A and B are shown apart, each in its own frame.
Chain A
Amino acid sequence: MPQEILATFNVRRLSILDPDGNVDEALMPELPDAELRRMYEMMVLLRTYDNRALALQREGRLGTYPPSFGQEAAQIGSAFALKPTDWVFPSFREVGIHLTLGYPIAQLYQYWAGDERGQRGPDHLNIFPFCVSVGTHLPHAVGAALAARYRKDPVAVAVFFGDGATSKGDFHEAFNMAGALNAPVVFVCQNNQWAISIPVREQTAAATLAQKAFGYGFEGIQVDGNDVLAVYRGVKEALDRARDGGGPTFVECLTYRMADHTTADDAARYRPPEEVASWRERDPLLRLERFLARRGLWDEAYRNQVQEQVQQTVDAGVRAMEEIPPPERSDLFTYTAAAPTPRQAAQLEES
């Protein structure tokens, strides 16, 4: 018997917008000018929010903070692809999703200032709490997707995680179960190429992360993660497919972590400066500016206006955060269960 080839796979890569702002018209998603501008405004908001977080951290007003710098397109493009009824399971580096969906800035800062009540979001937003454990929320997303299908709720679930999370057992088991049970879930990886000091090539021997999905029976696609249009298109197609019963998809957004892992890290100790510099040229925000300028949707005056407006929004968020009263001793056990146990009640008395 001759040997046969039983399966072959092609890993697609999607990019629409090049670093100079030229667009591939054939792939250009249908987005009205106002939406294109709103994308830009959200990316500026994220960067401004992020810079302010770093400043607040330096002043001791925020705890350890993981910046999003460089990953604005991957986050904002994904957020634009979501419908308000979809469900989101974020990791700890996705505040761009929150900002786009209208999560109160004050509460985001409140959380990173060390107050979990910041995670108690507005009831109309389907955003789950940040997952600070790496990759442990992928199974939750699969479960939520199966629950939605059981309820006959035609929504999709999007779960966000980093390249490092792809090494976790939770990643592989969640992928497998999502594939086997045809769950309406979209796995979005922000491959920023670093997990603290470990580069992605040491995280896996696979040439792409996207290809991992094929082993579990569904498609993985890589998109240019610094191209907000490609991210939008890739994630939107995946979400549409999930809502239509087509099952899971994995979208790998290839981007770069421009900043330190967190404010407690110094990436200069382990990253070559040339590598960081080469990604600076691929700045997702610059790219979108160039594109918008070509379309007559961007000029310096518009940029200044956006920056000023965003600055005001962020300032207002910081002020509102500072007005939130700190938690009280009496709050200690309030959130552990519907009612504290007798022992907890006694401990509250004693504390």
Chain B
Amino acid sequence: MSEMTYRDALNLALKEEMRRDPRVITFGEDVALYEGSFKVTRGLLAEFGEDRVRDSPISENTIAGVAIGAAMGGMRPVAELMTINFALLAMDQLINHMAKVRYMFGGQVFLPMVVRMPSGGGSQLAAQHSQSLETYFMHCPGMRIAYPATPADAKGLLKTAIRDDNPVVFIEHEILYNSKGEVPEDPEFLVPFGVCNVMREGTDVTIVGYGRMAVLSLMAAAELEKEGISCEVIDLRTLNPLDEATFLKSAARTGRAVVVEECWRTAGLGADIACRIFENCFDRLLAPVKRVSGLDVPMPYSRKLEKLCIPSVAGIVEAVREVMAASY
């Protein structure tokens, strides 16, 4: 184990996998000499050279399309989109092609590719640069979606993503890049897809989160402990496949659940998760499931207003108190 940042853990995963498998290549806007707009590709050009670490013109749909073609052509590409917001420009390639190639070729062709994309709000980057679009990908079958919350998971999930023969959308949270944690040094350390991380065990209420929302949930749980409320905090880790067994078992046991999502509430992933809990644990619930969500508004540029739009520790604490107080 050694302590490192989420950013360095991602970087280490890339380096280890590129050393392990010469078919792993990476490209995107400003990834080579500039080492990525969030410096996740630091040192890759120097170690692996221009053939495997390439800058691309500003052409998001083609970055995704070229990754698909390269994957068909026997490589294991890791494409970087500068942020998830620009994935919208690549949506045809990602949804209409990447997610469907295996299906449409009757399984003959598969795409061992990863599309990395920094995501999330909170850095005062305004309406078009602060979005949480994870639900857009979750809605579409045919791809894997990983969203690490901790440095260890950042490393382990990215390595699994690169070794996976399915296309993976790999979402990284911009505010977590500098967060620190213990990360296993073992180059065979992998975090499997489809297994939630029970970050904290508890008995009164289940909090389900992912990415930065899982981190905030953990902080909320620490606050709530002072009030004598015992929270179980579950990080989804991968949004597809989704390990529902873990959070359903937990919710059935605690009888109370709060789902924390950074995306917009309307038709967001929290609705799906809450619905699964209602469908499967209805008779065990002691209170209605509650969602803590991003507000249904384009992200304000103003720092003051932006804060109001993103779930906060205080908001989660409040939701848990409400769930604890509620009963049928």
Contact = CB atoms under 8 A, between A and B. Distances in A.
A329 B150 CA distance: 32
Report, nearest first, the 9 A-B pairs whose CB atoms are least far apart.
A167-B57, A197-B34, A164-B58, A167-B58, A114-B301, A167-B59, A351-B308, A197-B30, A203-B57
Interface string B303-327: 1110011000000000000000000
A347 to B, nearest CB: 5
Nearest to A132: B128
Contacts of A204: 57
A269 B133 CA distance: 32
Interface in A154-187: 164-165, 167-169
Interface of A: 63-64, 111, 114-116, 132-136, 164-165, 167-169, 195-198, 202-204, 269-270, 326-327, 329, 331-333, 336, 341, 343-344, 347, 351
B264 to A, nearest CB: 10
Contacts of B309: 332, 351
A295 to B, nearest CB: 41
Nearest to B318: A350
B222 interface: no
Contacts of B37: 196
7 contacts: A116-B127, A132-B129, A167-B59, A326-B302, A327-B305, A329-B304, A351-B309
Nearest to B31: A197
B304 A341 contact: no
B126 interface: yes
A198 B266 contact: no
A175 to B, nearest CB: 15
A114 B296 contact: no
A333 B309 CA distance: 11
B302 A343 contact: no
Interface in B57-91: 57-59, 61-62, 85-86, 89
Contacts of B62: 169
Contacts of A203: 57-58
A169 B59 contact: yes
Contact of A195 (B58, B125, B298, B303): B58
Given A115-B302, A270-B33, A270-B34, A351 B58 contact: no
A64 B130 CA distance: 14
A132 B128 CA distance: 8
B59 A344 contact: no
B104 interface: no
Contacts of A196: 29-30, 34, 37
Contact of B302 (A114, A133, A336): A114
Interface string B213-254: 000000000000000000000000000000000000000000
Contact of A336 (B89, B124, B297): B297
Q: Which of A132, A197, A202 has the most CB of B within 10 A?
A: A197
A198 B126 contact: no
Contacts of A202: 55, 57
A169 B88 CA distance: 13
Given A135-B58, A327-B302, A332-B295, 20 more contacts: A64-B125, A114-B303, A115-B302, A116-B127, A116-B302, A164-B57, A164-B58, A168-B89, A169-B59, A196-B30, A204-B57, A327-B300, A329-B308, A336-B297, A336-B298, A341-B296, A344-B295, A344-B297, A347-B296, A351-B309
Interface string B115-150: 000000000111111000000000000000000000
A64 B265 CA distance: 29
Contacts of B85: 133
Contact of B59 (A168, A329, A332): A168
A60 B55 CA distance: 32
B324 to A, nearest CB: 18
B290 to A, nearest CB: 12
